[in-house]
Chain A
Amino acid sequence: MSTYNDTLLVARFAALAPEPRPGDWADVLDRVGRPRPRRSRLPALPRRRRLVVVLAAIAAVAVICATALAVRAYFIESGFIGIPPAGATASTPETGRLVLSAYGVARRSRTQMWLYADGRLIWRRESPRGSDLAAGANRRFTGFLEQRLTKRGVAMLRSEVLATGLVGRGLALSLDDQPCWNGIDVRQADRFIGVRWHGSHCLAEPGGVKGTRPATREQARALLRLMERLAYPGSWLPATAWSDRRIRAYVPAEFEVWYGAWPRDLGLSHVLRPLPAPARKLLRAAEPRRWQVRSGPVHGVLVPTSIFTFRLSTDDARSLRLVLSARFDVDWATEDYALAYRVRALGPGGGPVLLEFDPILPHGEPAGVGG
């Protein structure tokens, strides 16, 4: 009996699972004779024009089929929490040059966005009160979503930030009724210039913000307006700014696993010990790194802790999830926003240690799902 465990069986079955093909709900509807959703209604055309349209359609189908034979795309049309389904097409290209990023509140929802030189706009939105988030993973969180801008669109968003005159001056401002950490960074040549602002109530907290000064009324108005425009570019950018307005899930090629917090100076072997053998093997091979930080507060003070991070391909992250899900509970406190498991080991605050999956963005950094 000692050589068998349930977790191992989960992992071995996962390795034997075939890759599923992309789903097609429209095909299911066709089989029942139901109309497909959002079928376009083209006006009737004269006969000769109809022939031209049919020939053009045949040519287009031939091109699409040839492309599909080379790559079978499986796009996910709404956000998700954690790891994407097997077979989902990763966002391309895998890497990208970051042009602009922002993190702040607009329309009472917390938005984070990243804009890349290739036009990719990746964003996520949290609405703690619950609201109707289009294409969202759930009522509180969109998940990571992606749209595409044209070069013009990229230039327009960038100009919008630079035109405020707030970036590049080392400003750190405090504003009422804002979260503790907010910021905008925009690329200028090979460096980023930006502006930070913080909720006034955060200044006195342990590890809180130092060196800020209250924003003037004009600065506050300009910052909030800018954040609104960055968070909702669809409300003001012209059609020519978009190469693809459709919202799809951002599917990363890699994940960072964030495993902490542990009392200072614990070795890798020690922190991996509570995990099943297949998980230990996956993580040991995944560029483990240890970070010394002060976290908490625990009983009002920040305590020194270690955090371990690991880089895994999306397929390996999926295998790790399978192994962990058989042994540990998903963390209920974060499950609306991220996939995290409660590992049965004592952290510095006396609670369980969390192991969290964090998507890697095209510029190579983790998105920071914990916010």
Chain B
Amino acid sequence: MSMSGLDSELEELYRRRQGAFQVMLASVTGSVESARDVVQEAFAQALRDQSGFRGDGSLEAWVWRIAFRIAIGSKGSHELTVDEVPEVAFVHEDRDPTLAAAVRRLPPQRRMAVFLRYFADLSYAEIGNVLGIAEGTVAATLSQSHAQLSAEFSTREVIA
């Protein structure tokens, strides 16, 4: 198998971001251990199928999509679609039950956008890339999520 230019970029991405991948994917798989395995397999698949990266988005967004497909068990080679947005939940809900409950009440796509923003630390453009939606839609989705969370918090707790 020949080495390509993407090898070093993937390795650099892995070294820089594998921790964030694990944290985010644990929200899908339910544990850090299984999330780590997904991350390992996602990067392995990215190394194997480099022709699948068409360069129309960032390399990181492409790896995220592979990782989510593995995490939700989708074997097809098609892109992740809005219909396929995985269910995400906090691994340690007990640390902040109020936030966990409020986030649980968000619709799946809003919840996913919130997790990608605050766990994966992705920009609006990258979130759009991962979910296959426009950046403006991401902004609107997050704005709606914030409004819903704000309403939830104001009725349940007062934060200094």
Question: Least Cβ distance of B137 to chain A in Å?
Answer: 19
Contacts of B47 in A (CB 8 A): 28-29, 32, 34
A13 and B44 contacting across the interface, CB-CB below 8 Å: no
Q: How far is the CB of A75 from chain B (nearest CB, A)?
A: 12
Contact A21 B150 (CB under 8 A): no
Most B-side CB within 10 Å, residue of A6, A21, A24? A21
CB distance from B96 to the nearest CB of A (A): 6
Chain B nearest CB, measured from A47 CB (Å): 33
Contact B36 A20 (CB under 8 A): yes
Q: Determine the chain B residues whose CB is within 8 A of the CB of A31 once the complex forms.
A: 40-41, 44
**How far is B1's CA from A100's CA once the two chains are assembled, in angstroms?**
50
Assembly CA distance A277 to B159 (angstroms) = 10
Among B18-26, B51-59, B74-82, B123-131, the one that faces the other chain is B18-26
Number of interface residues of A (CB under 8 A): 31
**Can you list 8 A-B pairs with a CB-CB distance of less than 8 A?**
A1-B154, A9-B118, A9-B146, A18-B32, A20-B19, A20-B32, A28-B47, A32-B1
Does A218 count as interface, using CB distance less than 8 angstroms? no
Q: Does A15 contact B (CB under 8 A)?
A: yes
Residue of A nearest to B42 (CB): A28
A1 lies within 8 A of B150 (CB) = yes
CB <8 Å contact, A17 and B149: no
Question: With contacts A13-B119, A23-B15, A28-B40 known, is A3 near B23, CB below 8 A?
Answer: no
Query: In the complex the two chains form, is B118's CB within 8 Å of A24's CB?
Result: no
Q: Does A45 contact B (CB under 8 A)?
A: no
**B113 to A: closest C-beta gap in Å:** 12
C-alpha spacing A29/B23, complex, angstroms:
22
Judging by beta carbons under 8 Å apart, are B43 and A3 in contact?
no
Cα–Cα distance between A34 and B160 once the two chains are bound (Å): 53
Contact partner, B95, options A1, A2, A9, A15, Cβ 8 Å: A15
Q: Does B83 contact A (CB under 8 A)?
A: no
Known A-B contacts: A3-B159, A18-B26, A21-B22. Give 9 more (CB < 8 A): A3-B150, A3-B157, A9-B146, A10-B118, A12-B99, A20-B18, A20-B20, A20-B22, A24-B40
Instruction: Report yes or no: B33 in contact with A21, Cβ–Cβ below 8 A.
Output: yes
A24-58 vs B, Cβ < 8 Å mask (1 yes, 0 no): 11011101111000000000000000000000000
Nearest-neighbor residue (CB-CB) of B90 within chain A: A16
Output the nearest chain B residue to A281 by Cβ-Cβ distance: B160
Given contacts A12-B96, A16-B96, contact A4 B18 (CB under 8 A): no
Q: How far is the CA of A31 from the CA of B36 in the complex (A)?
A: 14
How distant is the Cα of A128 from the Cα of B35 in the complex, in angstroms? 40
* Total cross-chain contacts (CB, 8 A): 88
CA distance A95 to B34 in the complex (A): 36
If A28-B47, A31-B44 touch, does A17 touch B23 (CB 8 Å cutoff)? yes
Residue from B32, B91, B159, B160 within 8 A of A21 (CB atoms):
B32
Contact B32 A3 (CB under 8 A): no
Cβ-based interface call for A86 (8 A): yes
- B92 to A85, Cβ gap below 8 A? no
Cβ-closest 6 pairs across A and B: A4-B150, A31-B44, A20-B22, A13-B118, A20-B19, A23-B18
Report the separation of the CA atoms of residues A8 and B158 in the bound assembly, to the nearest whole angstrom. 12
0/1 per residue, B7-28, Cβ < 8 Å to A? 0000100110011101100100
Partner of A17, one of B11, B36, B99, B119: B119
Which chain A residue has the least Cβ–Cβ distance from B16?
A: A85
Q: Considering residues A16, A31, A34, which has the most beta carbons from chain B within 10 angstroms of its beta carbon?
A: A16
Q: A16-B100, A17-B23, A28-B40 are in contact. Are A3 and B92 (CB under 8 A)?
A: no
- CA gap between A27 and B40 in the complex, in Å: 7
Contact (Cβ within 8 A) A9 B149: yes
A287 at the interface (CB under 8 A from B): no
Within 8 Å CB of B93, what residues of A? 16
- The answer, among A2, A20, A32, for a CB contact under 8 Å with B23, is A20
Q: Residues of A contacting B44 with CB < 8 Å? A: 28, 31-32
Minimum CB–CB distance from B151 to chain A (whole Å) comes to: 8
Q: Is B48 on the interface with A (CB-CB < 8 A)?
A: yes
Q: Are B91 and A3 neighbours in the complex by a CB distance under 8 Å?
A: no
A288 is an interface residue with CB less than 8 A from chain B: no
Determine whether A87 belongs to the interface, using a CB cutoff of 8 Å to chain B.
yes
Task: Bits for B82-117, please: 1 = Cβ < 8 Å to A, else 0.
Answer: 000000001111011001100000000000000000
A6: which B residues are within 8 A, CB to CB?
146
- Bound: A33/B3 CA distance, A: 12
Q: Which residues does chain B contribute within 8 Å of A190, judged by CB atoms?
A: none
Q: Please, what's the 1-or-0 string for A255-292, where 1 marks a CB less than 8 Å from any CB in chain B?
A: 00000000000000000000001000000000000000
- Residues on the A chain within 8 Å of B159, using CB: 3-4, 8, 277
Q: How far is the CA of A27 from the CA of B18 in the complex (A)?
A: 13
Query: Cβ of B15 and Cβ of A25 under 8 Å apart?
Result: yes
